[in-house]
Structures are given as C-alpha cells and as structure tokens.
C-alpha cells in the first residue's frame, strides 16, 4: 500500500482540510507556500494519465471549492493547480495527486519557467483532433 493510500485509510496522520467518501485533501508536509495542499482520490491510480476523467473532474471541483475558502482565510493573489506524471516530471509518490498551491507574490519561493523552442513546429507535430465530451 502506497503512502497516500495509507493516509487515505487514516493509517498515517495528516493535516486534512477536506474529506468525503472518495477524496481527501491535506496540507503538504513540505509546502512551497502557506496552504500548499494535496488533493487525492482514495482509490489508487499511479498518475493522472491512468486516472478516469470523472475522478480528475471531481478533483478539479474540490480544488475550486477549496480556493473559495482559501481566498477568505489565506488571501492569496492566485493559485497553481498542477499534477506531475512520472518521475521525470517530478512525481515522487506513485498515487495521483494534484497540488493546489496558493500564490502570494513573485517572491513566495516557487518559480515556474517554461522556455519555448520551435513552438510552431512542435504544435504542428503534436496536433490531434480530440472530441472532448
């Protein structure tokens, strides 16, 4: 059983901020900002590429509800909502989880940068026709 499954089963203590029958949200043990929260399904999926869309949709809705509450309590200037898939992307626990990271200003300790190289060529190579329901 992975560490997040054990947290979901309440075998390991955590700072829970939200829980229902299927999902759990708790404060990250190594937060990058005040209020850094992890949102997980209680069911085990290795990463978001293996997770049913309905689960990802539910997690997104939980994140949206948490941001409304955090706006009142923490008063951040914005949020990052991210999930890392696989070790090369920085995933350290093989249980799908989304980081909800309140942002306070450009000096809050988290820096995300993306460099665009040959963007037009890449977008053409990656283009597919997806019908999203």
Q: Which amino acids are annotated catalytic? A: 97
- CA dist list (Å): 13 to 5, 27, 74, 120: 12, 11, 23, 48
Please give the angle made by the CA atoms of 93, 99 and 100, to the nearest 5 degrees.
Answer: 160
Per-residue exposure over 22-47, b if at least 16 CB sit within 10 Å of its own CB, e if not = ebbbbebeebebebbbbbbbbebbeb
């Amino acid at each position: 059983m992975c560490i997040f499954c054990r947290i979901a089963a309440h075998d390991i203590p955590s700072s829970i901020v939200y829980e229902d029958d299927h999902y759990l949200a708790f404060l990250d043990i190594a937060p990058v900002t005040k209020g850094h929260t992890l949102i997980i399904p209680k069911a085990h999926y290795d990463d978001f590429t293996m997770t049913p869309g309905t689960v990802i949709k539910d997690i997104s809705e939980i994140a949206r509800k948490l941001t409304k509450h955090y706006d009142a309590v923490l008063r951040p200037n914005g949020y990052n909502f991210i999930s890392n898939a696989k070790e090369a992307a920085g995933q350290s626990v093989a249980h799908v989880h989304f980081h909800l990271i309140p942002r306070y200003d450009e000096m809050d300790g988290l820096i995300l940068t993306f460099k665009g190289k040959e963007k037009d060529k890449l977008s053409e190579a990656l283009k597919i026709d997806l019908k999203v329901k």
